[in-house]
Amino acid sequence: MDQLAGDLLKRKGLRSTAQRRAVLTALQGHPHSTAADLEARVGAAGGLSRQGLYNVLDDLTKAELVRCIEPAGSPTRYELRVGDNHHHLVCRRCGRIEDVDCGVGAAPCLTPGTDKGFAVDEAEITWWGLCAGCQEGAPA
């Protein structure tokens, strides 16, 4: 993944630093990670302070290599799945997050009743409920 991360960074016009590669690698296979998750995964070996981590996440988000989502009442989450206008299911109890493909056609896949003069290019939907595991553990 390190070589792939370096190639992705270069294609987006970013320097391929060890810290940026480490964060991209830490997100691989771990969608919807919080900054704390990434800090634990990258660790001190990544040579990345907490502020440095946030700077890297900001750079990667602006370059559209990483997508950040902000479910209400939850820390910001980061994922590598970008550019496809997918949505999310969030469990109210355990916080589990799952991706949901766009419901209809290409982005924005949903159209507001009125656009108020905006050129809409993306729709972000979050569905809330209980995941299967929490439903099983719910009191009757």
What does the pLDDT look like over 82-103, one tens digit per residue?
A: 988 789 999 999 999 999 987 6
Helix 50-62 and helix 35-42, axial crossing angle in degrees, nearest 10: 110
Three-state secondary structure call for residue 39: helix
Cβ atoms 77, 32 nearer than 8 A: yes
Please identify, in words, the CATH class of the domain defined by 2-69.
mainly alpha
Single-letter residue type at 62: K
For the chain, the average pLDDT equals 88
Model pLDDT, residue 82: 93
Quick check: 62 and 68 in contact, CB under 8 A? no
Chain region(s) in the chain for CATH 1.10.10? 2-69
Return the closest-CA partner of residue 86 out of 120, 126, 49.
126
CATH class of 83-137: alpha beta
pLDDT in tens, 49-70: 999 999 999 999 999 999 999 9
The ranges of the chain annotated as CATH 3.30.1490.190 are: 83-137
121: number of Cβ within 10 Å: 8
The reported pTM is 0.85
